[in-house]
Chains A and B, each alone.
Chain A
Amino acid sequence: MSTATRPTREAGRGAAERAMARRTPLLAAGLAAALAVLALVSAATGAYPIPPGDVLGSVLHRVGLGGAELDRVGESVLWDVRFPRVVLALLVGASLGCAGALMQGVFGNPLAEPGVIGISSGAAVGAVAAIAFGWTFLGTWTVTVFAFATGLVTVVVVYALSRAGGRTEVVTLILTGIAVNAFAGALIGLFVFLADNAQITQITFWQLGSLSQATWPKVLAVLPCAIAGLLIAPAYARRLDLLALGERPARHLGVDVERLRLALILVVALLTAAAVAVAGVITFVGLVVPHLLRMAAGPGHRFLVPGSALAGALVLLTADLVARTAVQPAELPLGVLTALVGSPFFFWLLMRTRRRQGGWA
């Protein structure tokens, strides 16, 4: 046998695969760097501008590494208004991006996304109920806990309804999403009907999706959900890769599919609840982000899951910065903005898939 046809270890890896492997650390570093810069810019920008250098100085001062304190107003704007908002944007964006990547993996379907298939609306039902009935018996966590509970029920229902023979048909998934969104919308409407005027205002603004009410207690209310979800998710990356082969083949390769499914559904519910409880229904982040990353770095979930969290945070931080600076002194609703940008992307995705493979069957 000649050396030309003899495969080597190199052939086993594949040139494209090696290029991807080289690209992922670069991409991750790039995303992290962009995130840091943008967080700084976002904290510095607003109706009361603070030079980025002063922002850094104030942060360094607070952690006791030199730097300098700002004046009283500056400190207050930075630490009571801007930073909670930046942190909240990071948490919500990371949760949405990560939840999108996980859902697409567990459904084996690139269109699965908390917003599109109704998980966000489901979580919103619990949150609206908590607001409309003025429930506070779980303290600051009440809205989050209710969002988690109804979000969880919704994921389970959607999963049970849309899967057949170990995979989810796109049409079934989308139709299930329509049904779930309609039902959740009806329930929310019912709660709005029962709420008083002040609560209706609160619900309406919350539903449009906004981070304008960001405070540290709000950050604290979703932090446990978001952090737990984000920390657990990457542990399932390898098994999600295998799940791409289908349920039975994944089981043949040693994956306990039932347990994987249960764990991931819980994680998705955690992440979605965290995002929805503070920011309302923000669609398309979980759809767009994993798609873009898959195009850039391949479908391997070991990068895709944490990468989607990073990129999701970046997208939402950018969106929030635009939302609060584009039409100053007014503020665009964040959910409206992401939908404005996300929907055309969804269209493009549809066109591209139809051109390439005749559409999703």
Chain B
Amino acid sequence: MSGVQGTGGTGLRRRLARALAGGGPRLPDAPVPGLTLATAKGLTVRLGRRTVLDGVDLGVAAGEVLALVGPNGAGKSTLLAALAADLPPAEGEVTIEGRPAHAWRAPELALRRAVLPQISTLAFPFTVAEVVRMGRAPWARTPAREEDDAAVAEAMEDAEVVAFHDRPFAALSGGERARVALARVLAQRAPLLLLDEPTAALDLRHQELVLRVCRERAARGPGVVVVLHDLGLAAAWADRAAVLDGGRIAAEGPPDGVLTEELLSAVYQHPVEVLPHPRTGARLVVPRRPGRPAP
């Protein structure tokens, strides 16, 4: 009884807040650690006639970094796109904040999840600062627009793009563009971050930087789903890893339990060695290579 009244109360308050905010979109719940942000249940996605995802079950909670790993074509990007409500499920369901993903309107989704695409393009010569500021667009009609300047400045600092903030996006190198795109996604300050290979174009230092930023964001509440190819990065930085293989989840759990020699060797169809770091004991994942003949 009290529970029913409680929901009615928040609903009314929400509607009132919406009306006061000038009819803006419904604001997302604050990400309390452990709260489920998005789930896939029995998710099957078909692209054309090909079944790309086949009965995937996965949840993302606030405050965690979840790595999606697996060989090319395993369905990592498709899973990410389905969680972002870009692709409709053929079977099963994706929910965001407890509601079916397709039931949300685009402006409401934009307050709940930010997405970093694998490749970032830009049609017109906007500057870096302008591109990052675009990440604030979803909040334009909410009270959170007060945070715009702070969010943009913080995101540009975190992604290390301040040095070229007034250069046009087109004049940047691939790695710089990738970081600008990341800064735009960070500036959005959504409770759920979906990052598709954020480290692909980056040098070693910036790969570490990106994953460190993911951890820092997760510590503040948001949940982060990140597609990675570097299993060492996944082992070192993720709370959980999900290994995809042929559209199914082959294993899922803390990296130490999941990223094993047997599983990875089978999934990647290449012998893989997992060894402890000589100093820290952290897991190192390397492909087994034939010894090079002495010169």
Contacts and interface: CB of A to CB of B under 8 A. Distances in A.
A7 B25 CA distance: 31
Among B123, B130, B131, B133, residue most surrounded by chain A Cβ atoms (within 10 Å): B123
A10 to B, nearest CB: 9
B124 A110 contact: yes
Contacts of A16: 127, 166
B123 A252 contact: no
A357 B168 CA distance: 14
Interface stretch (A132-140, A215-223, A239-247, A322-330): A239-247
Contacts of B188: 253
Nearest to A260: B106
Interface residues of B, number: 45
Contacts of B109: 252, 254
Contacts of B121: 167, 245-246
A163 B231 CA distance: 37
A128 to B, nearest CB: 34
Contacts of A245: 120-123, 131, 134, 184
**Which one of A5, A7, A243, A248 has the highest number of Cβ atoms from chain B below 10 Å of its Cβ?**
A7
A252 B84 contact: yes
Nearest to B128: A14
A109 B123 CA distance: 6
Interface in A240-280: 241-246, 248-249, 251-257
Interface string A61-93: 000000000000000000000000000000000
A9 interface: yes
A7 B134 contact: no
Interface stretch (B47-55, B62-70, B150-158, B279-287): B150-158
B56 interface: no
A252 B107 CA distance: 8
Given A244-B124, A245-B134, A299-B124, A11 B110 contact: no
A264 to B, nearest CB: 14
A17 B153 CA distance: 14
Nearest to A304: B124
B129 interface: yes
B126 interface: yes
Interface in B107-157: 107-111, 113-115, 117, 120-135, 137-138, 140, 149-150, 152-153, 156-157
A254 B106 contact: yes
A245 B133 CA distance: 12
A256 B113 CA distance: 15
B137 A17 contact: no
A12 interface: yes
B269 to A, nearest CB: 30
A2 interface: no
Contacts of A13: 129, 149
B258 interface: no
B162 interface: yes
Contacts, number: 116
A109 B157 CA distance: 31
B106 A256 contact: yes
B129 A14 contact: yes
Given A242-B134, A245-B134, A7 B162 contact: yes
B157 A7 contact: yes
B152 A12 contact: yes
Given A7-B153, A238-B137, A246-B117, A251 B86 contact: yes
A172 to B, nearest CB: 15
Given A12-B149, A167-B121, A256 B105 contact: yes
Interface string B23-52: 001000000000000000000000000000
Given A7-B153, A12-B153, A17-B129, A253 B137 contact: yes
A186 B218 CA distance: 62
A17 B135 contact: no
B110 A14 contact: no
Interface string B74-115: 000000000010100000000000000000011111110111
Contacts of A249: 115, 117, 120
Residue among A110, A251, A357 facing the most chain B CB atoms (10 A cut-off): A251
Given A16-B127, A248-B117, A254 B122 contact: no
A47 B129 CA distance: 53
Contacts of B114: 252
A105 to B, nearest CB: 8
Contact of B153 (A11, A167, A238, A253): A11
Contacts of B18: none
Going nearest first, the 8 A-B pairs with the smallest beta carbon separation are A254-B110, A299-B124, A14-B129, A108-B123, A16-B166, A254-B107, A12-B153, A14-B166
13 contacts: A11-B156, A14-B127, A17-B166, A108-B123, A238-B137, A253-B134, A253-B135, A254-B25, A255-B137, A257-B106, A294-B125, A298-B126, A298-B127
